Amino acid sequence: MPTTTIRLEDDLKERVSEAAARVGKTAHAFIRDAIEASVTQAEIDAELDQICEERWAEFLKTGQAVSLDAMDAYLEAKLAGQPASMPKPRKITE
């Protein structure tokens, strides 16, 4: 496994050591886990951004969307365990 060197200011290095000790990890494991969590979150954010861009482009093309009231009612029914049909998109007018 390749090695990567990072430089930390003394106060941050101390904080990392203390945080790692609190959770029962080495500083190395703590830093590795933090980097992995950060990379995973960045990947999730990028995927959500892509979904939002695609949905926005679809809205601009069709002008259709599901109203907030219709979506709220649908989600409330689903959360209550009741059968519910996904609301249909409608043309948005001003």
Q: What is the pLDDT along the chain (94 residues), one digit of tens a residue?
A: 899 999 999 999 999 999 999 999 999 999 999 999 999 999 999 999 999 999 999 999 999 999 999 999 999 999 999 999 999 999 987 6
Q: Say what the pLDDT of residue 48 is.
A: 98
Looking at the whole model, is its pTM more than 0.75? no
Residue 20 CA to residue 68 CA, distance in Å, equals 44
**Looking at the structure, do residues 44 and 88 belong to the same domain, yes or no?**
no
**Looking at the structure, do residues 34 and 71 belong to the same domain, yes or no?**
no
Residue 89 is assigned to a structural domain of this protein: yes
**Looking at the structure, do residues 56 and 68 belong to the same domain, yes or no?**
no
Residue 26 CA to residue 18 CA, distance in Å, equals 10
